[in-house]
Amino acid sequence: MTTLLLENARLIDPEAGTVSPGWLHIRDGRIAAIGTDEAPQGADEVLDCRGKCLAPGIVDIGVKVCEPGERHKESYASAGRAAAAGGVTTMVTRPDTTPVIDSPEGLEFVARRAQADAPVHVHHMAALTKGRDGREMAEIGFLLDAGAVAFTDCDRVTRNTKVLSRALTYARSLGALVMLHPQEPVLSDGAVATSGKFASLRGLPAVSAMAERMGLDRDIALVEMTGVRAHFDQITTARALPALARAKANGLDVTAGVSIHHLTLNEMDVADYRTFFKVKPPLRAEDDRQAVIEALRNGVIDMISSMHTPQDEESKRLPFEEAASGAVALETLLPAALRLYHSEDLSLPQLFRALSLAPARRLGLDAGRLATGAPADLVLFDPDAPFVLDRFKLQSKSKNTPFDGARMQGRVLATFVAGRRVFGES
């Protein structure tokens, strides 16, 4: 096997919480050595990083790839290219496709498509209930055997508590991880904004931030009752944070995430009914955004994800209430996250703990680390490079990004998967 030496880099180590100048040596797809002293000689290929940042590749939980059913919105090939261009070396995909991934056969189909077409690692979540309908649990045991890494009904909340409790109990018996969407489904039904002055002035159907707290309270009680390993996909409001902190303090096996859009945008960005800013749950008040950043800083919230949701132009070019929810974010995840670094809200090690290390640990993946023997899944980036985002230059088939035309700071220069460069100039 050829060897690669990445020298003159700023090494971002989320485990140690450090940023240090150094080098990294890759052999046989893994990190063979890493150091801050003089770089070794004799590598087959040497790349001078010129003082730019080298970090573990991003592990992104909650990516929607629209195969099967809506390949015109996103395929594994296009999502894989977008991931590589965004420094994402592992995608963890959602099962909310058409049809839903709720059987071993469906899971095997998408696994084959991903292996054939995507240049990055891909792991798959499967539905918790059949059809995500909340009436009958899916074949969790068979799906685990087929390779599912977690189970979720995505944003379709199971209203029948008995069905959900039985599914969680069964998942607990198999040691499976379940991802839950904390939202009170009746209150939030039809809402496209968060209750408050802004939504009232715009005349938009809105939901109180308490709906997230109510949904979280119910789900925490079920987690406590069943003992299941649980991950809450998006915590976006200040009102939900005390309940989450108590659950962790009480020893429940729970983690939580937040989307990059809720970390970097607020309800005011909807402005004149801009549908590219319509996401689920809706964008929150600035006080909520600041509270979530603080929760990420102190560890109450564990990870950041893109919640990549491609929608075609026809789905978005509609009145705000009728437009589809969601935004693409694989390629914009890192530069958007770097806004928090430039605003001094989070350090680079804190960012990559949330982007790489925490999601890898939660899923039991050998990734997210800069350490000897770890997989050489890496991203080389310049955190200070400015650019204006042009959505038509994104690798995703769908172009529904809220950052179109935005001034951003931070470019991915190269992405490596198992030591092989999948993005960047050679």
What is the per-residue pLDDT for 1?
A: 65
Structure tokens at 369: 């680390």
Per the CB < 8 A criterion, the answer to whether 252 and 220 are in contact is yes
Domain 56-363 fold: TIM Barrel (3.20.20)
Residue 262 dihedral angles phi and psi, to the nearest 5°: -75, -20
Which candidate, 254, 310, 232, 323, places its Cα nearest to that of 282? 323
How far, in Å, CA of 418 to CA of 416, rounded? 6
* Distance (Å, whole) CA 335 – CA 87: 10
Residue 227 CA to residue 235 CA, distance in Å, equals 21
pLDDT by residue for the chain (426 residues), tens only, comes to 689 999 999 999 999 999 999 999 999 999 999 998 888 888 899 999 999 999 999 999 999 999 999 999 999 999 999 999 999 999 999 999 999 999 999 999 999 999 999 999 999 999 999 999 999 999 999 999 999 999 999 999 999 999 999 999 999 999 999 999 999 999 999 999 999 999 998 999 999 999 999 999 999 999 999 999 999 999 999 999 999 999 999 999 999 999 999 999 999 999 889 999 999 999 999 999 999 999 999 999 999 999 999 999 999 999 999 999 999 999 999 999 999 999 999 999 999 999 999 999 999 999 999 999 999 999 999 999 999 999 999 999 999 999 999 999 999 999 999 999 999 975
What is the value of pTM for the model shown?
A: 0.96
Q: If you search the block for the tokens 């894989």, which residue do you land on?
A: 80
Tell which residue, 334, 267, 255, 266, has the closest CA to residue 295: 255
Q: Using CA atoms, how far apart are residues 422 and 426, in angstroms rounded to an integer?
A: 10
What are 45's strand-pairing partners?
A: 4
| pLDDT value of residue 426 | 57
Q: What are phi and psi of 150, to 5 degrees?
A: -165, 170
Pairing between β-strand 420-423 and β-strand 407-417 as defined by DSSP bridges = antiparallel
Q: Which tokens belong to 144?
A: 């685990």
